[in-house]
Structure 1
Amino acid sequence: MTRWLNEEEQATWQSYIRMRQRLEAAIAAGLARDGLSASDYEVLVALSGAGGQLRAKELGAEICWDKSRLSKHLSRMAARGLVDRCQAADDARGREIRLTDQGREALETAAPNHVELVRRLFIEDMTDTEAEALRSLADRVVPRAERTDVPGIG
């Protein structure tokens, strides 16, 4: 038997959905002003955080993208000079994705505006207690979501 959300639970879920959608739209618009999509930025941040390169499989796992989406997006990014796709040194079938100088420059150009927008839209209105509660909630929800049988997750 399905346990439907009660009125308060439904209101909480819908508030979260609206917040996520509006934040994602605002963040995407901010990044677009700097010539990047939100997906570009996500890939560039993951590569930068990993020292500039990752195996394609590791990159996909890091950003929770399936192989097809990752491959198509990396092709577009490579065509724009943001990343290089190279054969892995230790595996003839494996691919390494490398952040190019142009990709690093694009990330460094977009990052200050992105961080300021995140701060203004999300961080500034949150008290320390609320921030701690949000981190605590995320620390409980994320592992459960990663264990689900959903393509591209976990």
Structure 2
Amino acid sequence: MTRWLSEEEQATWQSYIRMRQRLDAAIAAGLSQDGLSTSDYEVLVALSGAGGQLRAKELGAEICWDKSRLSKHLSRMAARGLVDRCQAADDARGREVRLTEQGRRALETAAPNHVELVRQLFIDDMGPAEAAALRSLSERVVLRAERTDVPGIG
């Protein structure tokens, strides 16, 4: 039997969706001013956080992308000089993705503007207790989503 959302639950869900859509659009617009898409930024941040290199499979898992999407986007990024793809040193079938110097410079250029925008739109209106509550809720939702049998998650 379907457990329909109450009016309050529906209003909460719709409020979250509107927030996410507006925030995603504003972040995308901000990154585009530095010549990056949000997808570019996700890849560059993941690679940077991993010391500049990851196996393609690990990168896809880190950013929750399927193999096809990752491959196509990495091809576009490689054509722009932001990443390199190479044979994994320890596995003839594996591929590694490496952050190039140009990719590192692009990330270093975009990061300060991105962080300032995140701060203005999201962080600055939150007090410490609200931030802790949101972080706790977000972590619980992520764990539940990762344990749920939904393709492309976890």
Common topology (TM > 0.5): yes
Pairwise CA distance, 1:15: 0.4
Task: Determine if the alignment matches structure 1 residue 149 to structure 2 residue 149.
Answer: yes
Look up the equivalent residue of 1:72 and give its one-letter code: K
Deviations along 1:107-131, one digit per CA (max 9) or x if unpaired, are: 0000000000000000000111110
Rounded Cα–Cα distance in structure 2 between residues aligned with 1:77 and 1:150: 28
SS in 1 for 2:95: strand
Rounded Cα–Cα distance in structure 2 between residues aligned with 1:89 and 1:152: 27
SS in 2 for 1:34: coil
Partner of 2:84: 84
Task: Determine if the alignment matches structure 1 residue 98 to structure 2 residue 98.
Answer: yes
Alignment of 1:38-77 (within 5 A): 38-77=38-77
**141-150 or 39-48: bigger deviation:** 141-150
**Dislocated runs of 4+, deviation >3 Å:** none
Deviations along 1:2-57, one digit per CA (max 9) or x if unpaired, are: 00000000000000000000000000000000000000000000000000000000
Task: Determine if the alignment matches structure 1 residue 127 to structure 2 residue 111.
Answer: no
**132-141 or 33-42: bigger deviation:** 132-141
Pairwise CA distance, 1:152: 1.5
Pairwise CA distance, 1:147: 1.2
Partner of 1:25: 25
Pairwise CA distance, 1:149: 1.6
What fraction of aligned residue pairs are identical, expressed as a percent?
89
RMSD over equivalenced CA pairs, Å: 0.5
SS in 2 for 1:36: coil
List alignment gaps of at least 5 residues for structure 1: none
Pairwise CA distance, 1:151: 1.8
Task: Determine if the alignment matches structure 1 residue 110 to structure 2 residue 110.
Answer: yes
If the length of structure 1 is used for normalisation, what is the TM-score?
Answer: 0.99
Rounded Cα–Cα distance in structure 2 between residues aligned with 1:150 and 1:95: 26
Rounded Cα–Cα distance in structure 2 between residues aligned with 1:119 and 1:7: 31
If the length of structure 2 is used for normalisation, what is the TM-score?
Answer: 0.99
Rounded Cα–Cα distance in structure 1 between residues aligned with 2:2 and 2:116: 43
Look up the equivalent residue of 1:61 and give its one-letter code: A
Rounded Cα–Cα distance in structure 1 between residues aligned with 2:32 and 2:49: 21
